[in-house]
Every structure is written in C-alpha cells, then in structure tokens.
A and B are shown apart, each in its own frame.
Chain A
Amino acid sequence: MAGKPSEKLLKRVPVRKRPPEIRKHSFDEVSLGYNEEEAIAEASRCLKCPSPFCVKGCPVQIEIPAFIECIKKGDFSGAIAKIKEKNSLPGICGRVCPQELQCENECVFGKRGVPIAIGALERFAADYELRKGVKLPKKAKSTGKSVAVVGSGPAGLTAAGELAKLGHDVTIFEALHLPGGVLVYGIPEFRLPKSIVKAEVEYVSRLGAKVKTSVIIGRTLTIDDLFESGYHAVFIGTGAGSPWFMRIPGENLNGIYSANEFLTRCNLMKAYVFPEYDTPVHSGKRVAVIGGGNAAMDAARTALRLGGEDVRIIYRRSRDEMPARAEEVRNAEEEGVTLELLANPTRYLGSKEGRVEQVECLKMELGSPDESGRRRPVPVKGSEYLTPIDLAIVAIGAGPNPLIAQTTDGLKVGDDERFIVDEQGKTSRDMVWAAGDIASAEGTVIHAMGNAKTAALAIHNYLTK
C-alpha cells in the first residue's frame, strides 16, 4: 500500500446528476454517471489493497481492485470483462446496488475520507461496453442437461446466465409480457432505464438462455409439468410479488394503490405517457406514500413526476431506521418530497363516490429495539391528526406470491411463506432450487443475485456429478 494518502485522494470525484428542478418533471435517468476522464480520476484513488475488504463486501465477489485498475489504465474493455467474470448484470447493479452498505462500506477510505465510488465505476464500465457492443464470454460445451428458470428478475437472470455459461440448456419462464421482473415493473425509468434492463436481458439470451414470457408457473404449467416435459432441474426466482396492505379502514378506497400497482402501471405499462399508452394511472396533487423503503422513494418520486405538488412520505420510525438507500432518500428530498417521520396511518376517509380524501395518522415515538434491531415505534395516545390527500400509495413491503407453493407437492414454506432452502438454495423438493426474495428476506437485487449464483453452481454440480 502507498504511504499516507494526500488530501485530494480522500475526496470522491462527484457523480453528475440532473438538477432537481429539471429532473422532477422528467422520467429521464437522474444520475448521469462518469465520463472517461472522471472515471479514470476516481479509479486512480484506489489503493489496490493486497487483501481487499471491498471484495468481501460484494455478494458476488467481483474482483473490484482489478477492474478499477483496468479503468485507471484506460482499459475499459478489460474492466468490464473482469466484472463480468462474476456479474452478468453490471449495468443494473452499478445503478441499484446499495454499495454504501456493501463494497463501499468496506473500502479503507471509509475510515478516513470517502470510499471509492465502486458502484459508479461499475456502471461506467457497463455503459462503455453497451456503447461499444457487448462481447460474449467463452461458453462451456453443451452438457445435454436442461434447466427451467422460473422468473426473470435479478435472481432468475443471474441463475440463467450462470447455467447457460456452464453449458446447460436454459429456459426462463416469465409471467408478465416482458422479462426483467422487479427491474421492469418496480424500479422506475429515472433510476434504472429500461433500455439497460433490455440490454442485460439480451446478454443473458445471447449466452443461450431462452425466454418464454406470458407463462405462469403454478397456472399455465406446474413445476411437475416442467419435469414431465424433460427438464433436469428447476430454479425458482419468483421474488416477493404479493403486496402487503395495512388492513386499516378505508384502504380500498379509490385513489389508494399498492406501490406495486402504482409502479407497475407507470413502469411496465407506461401510464406516464397515457393516453399514448392505454393504461391509465391516477395522479394526485396531494400524495401520501406510506413506508420508508426504496419502493416508497420510487413511488413518491414517480408521483412527483406525474404532477404531485405535496408529496409526503409517511414513515412510522425515524430517518435512521429507513430501509431505503440514503442516496435515494436524498434524491427524493432534493426533488421536493417531504418526510413525515414518526407517523403511522390509522384510517382513510373518502367521498360519497368512494374516492380517498383524507388520511388519519397517529404520531409515534421510538421505544426499545425490536427483533429487527431497530427501535420499535410506539403510538402516542390521542395524537391522531388528519391530512387532506387525493392519492395514497402503500409501500410497506411485499411477500412471496403463493401460486407455486399452492400447486407443488413437497415444497416446504416457512411461516413467512418463503421457501425453506439450505445454504445452496436447495428446496425441500428434489431437483428444485430457489433464491432471491422467494427464499430470503434480504430484499436487494444483489443479494438475490449472489444467492442465485450459489444455487446455479449447486445445480451445475448436481447435473454434472
């Protein structure tokens, strides 16, 4: 390691963003990413630690110092090749991974100064390759084995990419009409452009994975049908697609959406360009978004772009407990979203016609920590207050979709309805593996990918033993 770093080295090359005043009226991507000069400057800060902590912080163990070194030397093709040894979806991860909690959190610069912008550099390398044309890695020769991958979100795409590279015949089954799962229905264009998702799905297809859309496993075909039609193994990555509601009075009034529905209408169905696209969505001037995660931030910022004037996030704990990425909270606030912390809705009031008009909230205070380690919100008696709203979006989380569990014998689920799996992602059913939100509650794209990769290797070992 070099000697004492200079003051200049401690500072990060800032990532350019569209100014809040402009971006809050536009669905264009907020972050502009690094140009070549900025990327090289940022890469030059890396100390190339001999036993790098950042790699340990990465759920798919990308050789981070090695790819950064390539960028520093101007070898951008080498950088992306290095990343893709471990990660098939770098354009997506560079944008939506919570790097501040993972690789960047481990960076030695974190102790003094600002960690290397690993995520921004990953995105830079991925975007460089997209402009230049994506190269395919060497593929193993065909094993003659076929694998069905259920779901085309982060877990499914990762498993499919890994298995295809290893020479298996892979088919992805997707319930919706477009592949990508939460990457297309959930995460908005301004945070993850759909052209990036499309390109990375294409990459997985070019590795040899076939994609069948509009097929629901659990209805159109069952897991048993897949085995009957000759698949040697099944990977399930169906995510957490079933939205939770608070089950409070008035929650079914018109003008109250789940975050999933609001975001699906806007992202997958492009309701923000209605009536050019047929699917409508209600927008509101006064919008309440319930919850403190990334979906809440995405929904609030989308509502703002649809013409929201007073968009508030109502969250029952304090800012420190918010599960959303810090950067997304900052982006939301910069754009004009307000945070109404330590408040929890108790009911909605509506008009005669059944449209929401008010939300009643109760003030909360923080008590002792709960099982999640976060301080438990405790209601303040008699503190109810009313806020006029014309749109509410419930973004308090989602559980697994029950269709596969309901239609497959021998597939054990836990109390939270997620599949019970071992460390390799193996379910209780022979020849069936699972990863991502259907099998664990971690809830990030990269964890789904990390676990999917482990499961894919376990499938490979099983098929080639």
Chain B
Amino acid sequence: MFKVKAPEIAKKYKAGQFVILRVHEKGERIPLTIADSDEMEGTITLISQEVGKTTTALGKLRRGDRIPNLVGPLGKPSEVGNFGQVVVIGGGVATAVAYPEARALKGAGNRMISIIGARSKDLLILEEEMRRTSDELHITTDDGSKGHHGFVTDVLKQLIEKQTKIDRVVAFGPAIMMKAVANLTRPHRIKTMVSLNPIMVDGTGMCGACRVSVAGQTKFACVDGPSFDGHEVDFDLLMARLRMYLDQEKISMQSSTARMNVAGEAYGR
C-alpha cells in the first residue's frame, strides 16, 4: 500500500475508479484500483500485490520515488445509492477496492455487512478500516488462521440461508470468487455488482484488450465498467482472457532479477 501525489486525480476520484501506471521507460501499463484519496493532501492510495514484473517493481519503490507515468481516474464510478442493506465482499488484495466502496455506500445511508477474506490472516488487509465502515464484519481465511475457515462465499451462503434481508451485493476479488458470488445470488435474484479486472493497455477505450461479455454484448471494461451486473458477466471468458499472457509473464519475470511469483491472475488489481 502506498500513497502517490496526484492532485488532479485525487480531486476527481470516485469509488470504483482506477489508474494506469508505468514504473519505467520500458515498462508495461497496468491498471490499479484507487483505494483512497485525500483531496486536501493531493494524494491517492494504491494497493498492489507483487504478482508480476510491474507490481514487483512497484514494491521496490521507496518514499520520495517517482512513478513516471500515472493516469486517471479511469472507468465509470460505481453506482452509489441508498439500497437498504448491502453486503460488500472483498477477496484478498481486492479488499482495497471494497473499502472505498463500503465507505461510499455507508455514507449513502446503507446498512453495511462486510465480508473480507484472504488465504491466511497475514494477508488480510484493511480489517480495521472495514470494521469502522461496517455494521457487521465477517472475516474468512482459506487456512482458518482467522475468522471463518473457508471462503467468503460460505459466509454469504449462510447469510442467505438465514434469510438476512440483502438488497444488494457488491463483490471485489479474483474472477473465480466473483463468479461464485454471482452464482450464489442469482437464484435469489439479489442484485449483484462486480468489479472486473481484465488486462488493459491504454485504459481509455482505445485498444479493446479489456473486452468482456456482459449480457451477450462485448463491453470495454475500461470505459463501460469496470463495474457490471454480476449475473450478466461471462466469467469463464474473463478468466480465459486473464490467462492470455501467463507464459510471457514468466519469461518477463525470468528476464528480470525479480522474484518469481506468478499467481493465477498476474494482472489482478
């Protein structure tokens, strides 16, 4: 997690938006969702997980270093309204995106139930922040080191089974998690918004790298999204497209001195 001075972006930012950045002259352009902004200070907060070459290089930056190219805020802001009782789900590093959304929804008068999950307790982020913005916070870990032993969807399932009134679900996380969430809520017709994280290049609608299929229509996540109705998203296509450069990502990591840590979603925001 790091703060970047970017006064123009900080001023315009709304929950759900992201930036594209490049860490050096030969670097790739990658999208990162904005976790927070401070207009007075002129800063935005970004969180990234070291999974690829660019995110690894980001992790090596020290206080005072410059990010040569940073552009934003990109994407449409998420829909914020008073829906009633809302369940916000953050999986892994995407909790960083769930947090501003939860805060905005709380500010709009919703009662907030938050579920955050990670592989283990050391990887949980923003727990205190999420607790402050939530009326109810649930924690899950894959290894059981904290909270519920299992997945965020287990908790969601329990909530649904207990017939908790849920007016809307908003999910942020790996595609596979968002797919599972959407599959859970679909039979109950609970409106479910997801924030998609496809590979991007320019982030301005110019290349079509980020195309996703929503209700059978091709959309560009960078300008039409990144937030879409989870019941209409073709997650299998999204997951296949996220795997498009796994081999190249390995070559790229090997060619640098960076640590190998290619996870399932090399480009996860």
Interface residues of A (CB under 8 A from B): 175-177, 185, 213-216, 219-221, 241-243, 245, 247, 251-254, 257-258, 260-261, 264-265, 269-270, 274-280, 282, 353-354, 401-403
Contact = CB atoms under 8 A, between A and B. Distances in A.
A252 B218 contact: yes
Given A214-B71, A254-B241, A278 B205 contact: no
Contacts of A277: 26-27
Interface in B19-45: 22, 26-29
A280 B245 contact: yes
B interface secondary structure, majority: mixed
Given A219-B72, A276-B26, A264 B252 contact: no
Nearest to A242: B205
B240 A353 contact: yes
Interface string B80-113: 0000000000000000000000000000000000
Contacts of B180: none
Interface string B184-205: 0000000000000000011011
Given A269-B28, A274-B252, A276-B26, A264 B201 contact: yes
Contacts of A280: 245, 248-249, 251-252
Interface stretch (B137-145, B153-161, B206-214): B206-214
The contact size tier of chain B is 35 or more
A264 B241 contact: no
B162 to A, nearest CB: 38
B129 to A, nearest CB: 26
B256 to A, nearest CB: 8
Given A177-B69, A354-B240, A216 B74 contact: yes
Contact of B204 (A241, A253, A257, A261): A241
B131 interface: no
Interface string B58-90: 000000000011111110000000000000000
B241 A403 contact: no
A265 B202 CA distance: 10
A371 to B, nearest CB: 26
A214 B69 contact: yes
Closest 6 CB pairs of A and B: A354-B240, A280-B248, A261-B207, A278-B28, A177-B69, A275-B255
Contact of B8 (A220, A241, A257, A258): A220
A311 B218 CA distance: 26
Contacts of A264: 201-202, 206-207
B73 A242 contact: no
A175 B29 CA distance: 13
B53 interface: yes
B9 interface: yes
A194 to B, nearest CB: 13
A378 B237 CA distance: 32
A219 B13 CA distance: 9
Given A260-B208, A278-B53, A214 B70 contact: yes
A420 B265 CA distance: 43
B223 interface: yes
A275 B52 CA distance: 13
B69 A213 contact: yes
Contacts of A241: 204-206
Given A216-B204, A220-B71, 5 more contacts: A175-B204, A177-B29, A214-B71, A241-B204, A260-B208
A35 B256 CA distance: 43
A401 B26 CA distance: 26
B176 interface: no
Interface of B: 8-9, 12, 22, 26-29, 53-54, 68-74, 201-202, 204-209, 211-213, 218, 220, 223, 236-237, 240-241, 243-245, 248-249, 251-252, 255-256
A252 B213 contact: yes
B28 A279 contact: yes
A357 to B, nearest CB: 13
Nearest to B252: A275
A261 B12 CA distance: 27
Nearest to A351: B240
Nearest to A261: B207
B213 A221 contact: no
Contact of A177 (B9, B22, B53, B218): B22
A51 B202 CA distance: 47
Contacts of B208: 243, 245, 257-258, 260-261
B261 to A, nearest CB: 16
B54 A278 contact: yes
Nearest to A278: B28
12 contacts: A175-B202, A177-B29, A243-B207, A245-B211, A245-B218, A247-B218, A264-B201, A269-B28, A269-B29, A275-B248, A277-B26, A354-B236
B206 A220 contact: no
Nearest to B204: A175
A254 B26 contact: no
Nearest to B24: A278
Nearest to A270: B26
Contacts of B209: 257, 261
- Among B26, B207, B249, B255, which residue has the most Cβ atoms of chain A within 10 A? B207
Contact of A403 (B28, B205, B237, B240): B205
Contacts of B202: 175-176, 185, 264
B72 A220 contact: yes
B23 to A, nearest CB: 9
A299 B28 CA distance: 21
